[in-house]
Amino acid sequence: MFRKVFDIKTNNRIEIKDITQGIQLIVEQSHYNNGIVIIYSRHSTSGIVINENEPGLLKDFKLALEGLIPYNGNYNHNCIDNNADSHIRSFFIGSSETIPFYKGKLDVGTWQSIFFVELDGPRSRKVTVTLIGQE
C-alpha cells in the first residue's frame, strides 16, 4: 500500500479543481504498475468526482448544484454554522472515487478528469490518496 496526503487551497465558495495530473504523479511515485487508487476528500463540505474537463460543463455543474440546493434554503443545520447547502451538496456528489491504473497510468476514459469540488470555500483542504497495487 502507498499513501499520500496533499493540500488544496480554494478561492471561491464553489470551486471545481482538476487534480488528474497530481493523481497521476502520485501513481508514478508509488512505483506500482497495476492496481487501484482511491482519492478521498477528508471534509464533509467538499467532494471528489470524475467527468469531462470542459468549461461549459463545469459551469453547468456549478449552476445545477446551486439550483438544486440553494444557498439560502430554510435548512435546520444553518443555525449551527450557516453552511447546510454545502453539506447537502456533498451528500449528493460523494467524497471519494476509486480508479484502476495499469502499467503506471490512470485507466480513465479519453474525456475523463478527476476533480476536487469545493462547496464551502475559500479554504485549505486535504485529500488522501491511497494506492493498492503491485510492482
- Domains of the chain in sequence order: 2-134 (2.60.120.460)
List for the chain the helix, strand, coil content (%; round to 5): 30, 40, 30
Q: What is the reported pLDDT for 41?
A: 98
Q: State the chain's maximal CA–CA distance in angstroms.
A: 52
Per-residue pLDDT tens, the chain, 135 aa: give them.
999 999 999 999 999 999 999 999 999 999 999 999 999 999 999 999 999 999 999 999 999 999 999 999 999 999 999 999 999 999 999 999 999 999 999 999 999 999 999 999 999 999 999 999 999
Q: What is the reported pLDDT for 56?
A: 98
